[in-house]
Homo-oligomer: A and B are copies of this chain.
Amino acid sequence: MTRERLAEMVQRGLVTPTGLISHGRGEAYDYLMGERSTDAALEAERAAAAYLLNAENPVLCVNGNAAALDPEGLIGLARRVPAKMEVNLFHRTPERMEGLISYLESKGAEHVLGRDPDSRIAGLEHDRALCTSEGIYSSDVILVPIEDGDRAEALVAMGKAVISIDLNPLSRTSKAATVPICDEMSRALENISRFVEEMRGDRETILKTLDGFSNSENRRRTVECICDSLRAGLDGGDD
């Protein structure tokens, strides 16, 4: 179902063909983790909720794949935190930008940023750097689902707390992020939303959760989970 949805979004020009290949890479990791949120993922999702609740200007960054996969999940989390949404594309054209923002609006999103960029992400070239001063540029905490490594690193270098959703625990994005969530995007958004509700207003828990999180330790647990799953899969009769 997800695959057909993505294929349809390619025909509409909102997802690129290379976006489909990228989605396939994610599927492989998801499969290796048993297509469920691992304990390590849940820990990262809890830390993500704490960062978002503690932020002054939290922003959810949205690209073509993310919008195609789960617009409702993105809009729901943005409303719950609350956080701004900004569309930011690797392959940017005015048509894709307008198409994606309109698509999110058709799903109920209000005030989606990105149409009129007036700032740049430092360290990136060409159109990939474009962003708005109201959103990404002035954000202190930014959630980037399915982001490329260059942009994730550039956002960290700007001093932002970056929460990534990327199923590969060894990707440059996962390594660079403050909080690398290795989980399928829809599950991740749902879990973060739940933790946001649980922790809202509990400043002590929020700060403790922030302080206790370690990128490298979390990714190490994810890798061990993948290895356990691979070994168990060898002996199983089926995939």
List A residues at the B interface (Cβ < 8 Å).
3, 6-7, 10, 16-18, 20-29, 31, 149, 168-172, 175, 216, 219-220, 223, 226-227, 230-231, 233-234, 236-239
Instruction: State in angstroms the CA–CA spacing of A17 and B234 once bound together.
Output: 29
Contact status A18-B29, CB under 8 Å: no
Instruction: State in angstroms the CA–CA spacing of A207 and B227 once bound together.
Output: 35
Partner of A24, one of B10, B28, B169, B175: B28
Partner of A234, one of B31, B149, B220, B236: B220
Contact status B238-A172, CB under 8 Å: yes
Q: A17-B17, A175-B239, A226-B227 are in contact. List 5 more A-B contacts (CB 8 A).
A: A20-B21, A21-B24, A170-B230, A175-B237, A227-B230
The smallest C-beta distance from A238 to any residue of chain B, in angstroms, reads: 7
The smallest C-beta distance from A221 to any residue of chain B, in angstroms, reads: 10
Contact status A10-B17, CB under 8 Å: yes
Residue of B nearest to A226 (CB): B230
In the assembled complex, which residues on chain B have CB atoms less than 8 Å from the CB atom of A219? 234
Contact status B27-A21, CB under 8 Å: yes
Q: Which 8 A-B pairs have the closest CB atoms?
A: A24-B24, A28-B28, A7-B17, A20-B20, A21-B24, A170-B233, A227-B227, A25-B28
Residue of B nearest to A17 (CB): B7
The smallest C-beta distance from A156 to any residue of chain B, in angstroms, reads: 14
Residue of B nearest to A16 (CB): B7
In the assembled complex, which residues on chain B have CB atoms less than 8 Å from the CB atom of A16? 7
In the assembled complex, which residues on chain B have CB atoms less than 8 Å from the CB atom of A7? 16-18
Instruction: State in angstroms the CA–CA spacing of A215 and B21 once bound together.
Output: 29
Known: A230-B227, A234-B219. A24 touches B29 (CB 8 A): no
Q: Can you give 14 contacting A-B residue pairs, CB < 8 Å? A: A3-B17, A7-B16, A7-B18, A21-B21, A24-B26, A25-B28, A26-B28, A31-B168, A168-B239, A170-B230, A223-B230, A223-B234, A226-B227, A226-B230
Residue of B nearest to A238 (CB): B172
In the assembled complex, which residues on chain B have CB atoms less than 8 Å from the CB atom of A21? 3, 6, 20-21, 23-24, 27
The smallest C-beta distance from A132 to any residue of chain B, in angstroms, reads: 29
Partner of A28, one of B10, B29, B238: B29
Contact status B28-A20, CB under 8 Å: no
